[in-house]
Structure formats: structure tokens, C-alpha cells
Structure 1
Amino acid sequence: MSFLRLTTVRDLDGEPIATVNAQFVTSTDLPHTWLIIATADDESDDGYDDPTAHLGSYGPFADPDGARAWAEAHLAPYATRYTAVPLTAPYTYADVEKALGKPVRTSKELRPARADTIASYFKPYALTRLRYGTRTDTPRHGFTARETEHPELGPVVELTALGPDRYQRDRDHSVMQTVLNLDHPRYEVTDHHTQLLVRRLADAELHARADQAAARVAPHLAGLTTN
């Protein structure tokens, strides 16, 4: 078994109808639809192709032949490599615990978000961390990150976009929020207009949210095909 992230569910016209952050288990032994995973022909540092360079996922398709036919028509002409994988309905943690006959092991330690960790997520987006206390309209372009205690949320990392241009600050604020929401479901982001407050979710909270996302998307996966 392996795990895939499906972030967008589309209707028969290809229009997005739901966005989720959930894990999906692939298996040839359970009922499923099919998904196309496209990979880039990128070369790694050692000169060899990197087959794990991920471009995107397409589907779900009703059967593997239909999935491959679509990929041959839409991806093969651009020399894009792809593979068709079976996709089951998403499991919840309750399903996993039932199959195992015991609770899923979770961390008992509630760990707070760390400023250094959060700041590292923004390096690929040309966002530079600046010293806390730098004035908002500094001529430098970047953001501050500091660990603090919120009266309602508890320990959080406070993010503030800085720079001479308000439009750019608003854009960077939005980029940071989007990166965390889409790529790091371990964290909860609260938007306070000029700051983002980032809280690290406990294991129990993370599992509950994954179960909720799985329950929302399961009916769509059961009834959709892509032509």
C-alpha cells in the first residue's frame, strides 16, 4: 500500500467542486476508481532522471484503460511520464483502528509550533525572515516569526509580513497562509489581518480533521468519473 494526496475533486466537466487535505490508500484488493499520477522528466544532481518529481494527479477514472487512454491523449504528446494507480475510498483513523484491533499510536506530548520550523517552509518562495522588531515599512522585503502565547489559542508562532509596499505585504501574507494551509495540515492558521497565528495541532485534532475530510470527499469519489 502507498499513500496519495488528492487535493481537488472535479465534476464531469472538469470543474473543481471540492478541495481536501486527506490521505488515500491505494490497493488492488479493495473497490476503487483510478488515478493518473504524472511525473516530470527532471534530472537529479547525479545526472539521472528523478522518477519521483511530481507534477500532478488527474482523475478519478472509472477503469484503468480509460485512465491510460486519457493520459495518452493529454500527457504523452508532451513527453510527460505517467502511471495509473488504483484509488480506494479514503480510510478514517477509526477504520484503521478497527482493522488493527487496537488504537492508532499517537504522541501524548503536545508540542508547540516553532518559529524556525515555520520560517523554513517559506524559503522556496523567496520570503526572507527578518529580525523581530523590524518596522513594518522597512525597505527590506520579508517577514518576522516569533513564538508567543495567545490567550485563546495557546502557544503560537506569530507571522508578520514586512516591506515598503502594502500590496506586496498583503501578497506575502496571503502566500504564507496558502503555503501552510495547503502543504502543512499539521498546523492551524488564524488570520488576524496584519498577523498570522500558527498553532501546531495535537495528534488527536489532526486525526479528527483527516477523518472529517475523508467523510466529505468519499461520496464524490464513489460517484465521479473523468472522460
Structure 2
Amino acid sequence: MAAMPDDTPTPPCDPRLREECIREQERARIARDLHDDLGAHLTGIGMALGQLRESLGAHEGVRHAEYAQALLEQAHEGLHAIIDELRPPIVEFGLLDTLQWVARDFTRHSGLPCRVDAPTRLDGIDEFAVLVVLRIVREALSNIARHARARQVSLVVRRDGRGIRLQVADDGCGFDGAAPPRLGHGLGNMRHRAQAVGGTLLTLSTPGQGTVIVLTLPVAG
């Protein structure tokens, strides 16, 4: 397994950002520990099982070794999924690649088409902000998959003065904006994350006409 870079940003001085950044640091630390420690052990077990299968030859015990190998592969996949959730490596490549990746992942799991409409370059957005945007978009897409009964979804990004404007839109059932549906702590968490990077988050919806979540985010440059 390739080594994970230790590039978590230093907590900013702004107290609004510090708490969220510290949480991301802790997630990154846990992801590295899982990758470097548990991941290495699983790899070693896999090598030992491979040698065991070869030594068993035609012995009936080889079936048990093959079953153990299959379970190990499932454990490896589960570990990678946990690491990706804690610290998705894609954020190192910037906002555009991150949005395209999360859209493909959403479509693969939900079956709903998710279109990304964004400039070919989105400069001035640091990795911490990209990570926060990713978590907001994931939460929004999760709500769509569970509640919206949508047929299609779009992620639209535009430059807006000295910032960016990101819209997560669906054509689902919508809801009464004056009485938002119960989505657990999802909407509150998204707003908190937006505020943590100096942004804002609005939810616009009409029954029968879908929902649009609008994230505005200040960026350098």
C-alpha cells in the first residue's frame, strides 16, 4: 500500500475555522493510522494465505484458505472505504476533480445521473476548503438519494466575484420552504461546515419542483 502524505493544513487563526480544521486533522490522523498499521497487517495476512494455498495443493483445506482470502479482500475494500470517508485522496487534485469524482460515486451507488457543470479551472481554493465542500456535497447528495425521489441531479459551479457559487440541484419532490422536512442534522451540519470556511448555505425548494442547495464560498485570487 502506498504511503499517505501528511499534508493536513495547520489550524487557521480564525476561530470559526479552527474547530473544523482540527476535526479534519484528527480524521486525517486516523486515516493514516488505519492505512499504515491495519492496512499493512491485512497485506501481510494476504501474502501468508497465498503461501498457504500453494502449500495445500489439492488438499481439501484449500477451500477454507480460499474462503479466508475472499473475506480478507472484503476487509481490504471496507478499510479503503473508511479511509476514503475520513480523508478522500481526491481532494489533493482540486475542486473540479473532486466534484467529478463525487458525482461518479453518487451515480454508481444511487443509479441517478449527476451532471457536473463547472469551469475547467477552479484556482485559489485550498485543500481544506475543497475537503469541506466535498463533505457538504456528499451530505446533500445523500439527502437527495434518500428523500427527493429525483430523476437527475446537477452540480453547477460558477465564479462569483471573489468567490465561487456551487448549486446542488435535483428535480425531485421538493418541500415547503417554510417548513423544511426532517432530515436529521444534515442541513444544520452543511450550514455549519459552510460557515467554517467563511461561506453561506441556502436551501431553496418548492413542492413538486425539486430542491436547490446554494453554497457560496470566498476564495483567494
Greater relative contact order (CA < 8 Å, ≥ 6 in sequence): 1
User: Shared fold by TM > 0.5?
Assistant: no
Query: TM-score when scaled to structure 1?
Result: 0.28
Query: TM-score when scaled to structure 2?
Result: 0.29
Higher helix share: 2
Higher strand share: 1
